[in-house]
Structure 1
Amino acid sequence: MAAAIPSPLAVSSRSCLLPRLFCHTRPHNWKRIILPFPTDSPPLRRAALGVFAHARRGFSFQEDDYASPSDLKFVPPLKIVEYPDPRLRARNKRINTFDENLKKLADEMFDVMYKTDGIGLSAPQVGMNIQLMVFNPAGERGEGEEIVLVNPVVQKATKKTLLCNEGCLSFPGIFADVERPASVKIDARDIMGARFRFNLSKLPARVFQHEFDHLQGILFVDRMTKDVLDSIRSELKALEKKYEDLTEKPSPEKIDDYKQSKQLVGFARA
């Protein structure tokens, strides 16, 4: 997720603005990547196995739908995958191998996130179709805290929603208003494979939801109203043309063919 810029549509009693952020680099300290920011959760506890939740238009998973060792292989440096690359819509497999390679992958994801002024990044955004995300709401290494979430699941989302201005690293230069639940309850694994459960609200909740959508093959344009989508139509068409020029293939999706039956808000049970 990219840091956002002010939008006239975002100035309302239910709005929030994500700050523009900058970055520098320093080595990661994996020992401190546990729970990265204050939440309203009770002390961490192991999550009971239960019914998985997924965003509407997302994927349901089979128990054997796990990433193979080849799915986790990567060659640095990672590069951001831009709309309308089909990898952004592909199924993302769950992870059951927690090793040094996974840590290196997360580390590389942080590097590309900071270099592109991001505050969150999901694995499919770097061409890796697996259930992995990294984020730091502060947007700067050495500020705030870093978090790695593996196989995240939304257990509950509040009915209260907020309208916020969002950007996305896979949609460079595009910022628009998106409505999302104000807080969410999450189950996930950390980089070592340990299960935990916690609640997120405010900016961390929004960053998480944006990245979680990516893991379901959902893009932030899917959650925009028609008016908001129309306001960025020309920018989306420019990205589609860029993809066609680079790949010499037709765009796998086009904004002019986009049919939105209902704006996506919230999450649904699997």
Structure 2
Amino acid sequence: MAVLEILLWPDARLSTLCAPVDQITDTIRKLVADMFDTMYAAPGRGLAGPQVGAMLRLFVMDATWKEGVKSPLVMINPEILSHSDERVEMDEVCLSIPGVEAPVTRPTRITIRWVDLDGETHVREMDGAEARIAQHEFDHLNGRVHFDRLDAKARAHLEAAYQ
């Protein structure tokens, strides 16, 4: 497989709504394998299609590999079905905005539906790091980065520090 180039903000593709994956082909399977290689090499816990220039609604994630146990997930055409009212603020980092932590408030739990590489549909409730990673990557599919979740003052400060 291959390690792909990760696009850096403010690349316009990171602000673009992604298209659904119409069919799971060998090209999609290779892209996913390359995305996992790229994510692990970065080293990150999630990577979305647009971050490598693939403007498709898919992402890969692994919430536990840095603790020694791999739990890789590929989510194709994911949909967040529900989220908890309880929210928590945590610093997030992004492979497309290296070196910048942003305090982002997100729901603590979500229910998400997606299709895997075999075309099987899954629905799962996630919490903790897994829920946060899935929400962060899902944002990328909608053309959002963690800067977009900040108030204007905090965003301006972090953008200036990044640039």
TM-score, normalising length: structure 2: 0.92
| Local SS of the residue matching 1:128 | coil
Q: Which amino acid aligns with 2:161?
A: E
Residue 8 of structure 2: which of 82, 95, 102 is its match? 82
Count of matched residue positions in the alignment of Structure 1 and Structure 2: 163
Matched, 1:195 2:132: no
Deviates more, 1:97-106 or 1:150-159: 97-106
Paired letter, 1:177 = P
Verify the 8 A CA contact 1:117 1:139 in the aligned structure 2: no
Counterpart in 1 of 2:45?
Answer: 119
Q: Displacement of 1:158 after TM fit?
A: 1.0
Q: Distance in 2 between matches of 1:227 and 1:210?
A: 21
Aligned to 1:53: none
Mapped pair 1:97 → 2:97: no
**Aligned residues of 1:123 and 1:131 also touching (Cα < 8 A):** yes
Return the alpha-carbon distance in structure 2 between the equivalents of residues 149 and 79 of structure 1: 20
* Alpha-carbon separation, structure 1, partners of 2:65 and 2:15: 25
1:107 to 33, 44, 51: 33
Aligned letter for 2:99? G
Correspondence for 2:84: 158
Match of 2:70 in 1: 144
AA aligned to 1:147 is L
- The answer as to 2:112 corresponding to 1:175 is no
What is the identity percentage for the equivalent residue pairs of Structure 1 and Structure 2? Answer: 31
Aligned-residue offset at 1:161: 0.4
Largest Rg, 1 or 2? 1
In structure 1, the partner of 2:61 is 135
Structure having the larger proportion of residues in helix: 2
Kindly provide the amino acid, as one letter, of the partner of residue 214 in structure 1. H
Give the conservation status (yes or no) of the 8 Å contact 2:18–2:142: yes
Superposed CA RMSD in Å reads: 1.8
Alpha-carbon distance, 1:224 to partner: 1.5
**Correspondence for 2:155:** 229
| Residue identity matched to 1:228 | A
Q: Which residue of 2 aligns with 1:209?
A: 135
Separation of aligned partners in 2, 1:135 and 1:226: 29
Q: Is the 8 A contact 2:3 2:41 kept in 1?
A: no
- Deviation for aligned residue 1:140: 4.2
Paired residues of 1:113 and 1:120 also in contact (CA < 8 A): yes
AA partner of residue 114 (structure 1): Y
| 2: CA distance, partners of 1:186 / 1:124 | 20
TM-score of the superposed pair, with normalisation by structure 1: 0.57
Q: More strand by proportion, 1 or 2? A: 2
Unpaired runs of at least 5, structure 2: none
SS in 1 for 2:148: helix
Match of 1:69?
Answer: none
**1:118–1:139 CA contact under 8 A, matched in 2:** no
Matches within 5 A, 1:246-257: none
Question: In structure 2, what residue type is equivalent to 1:108?
Answer: D
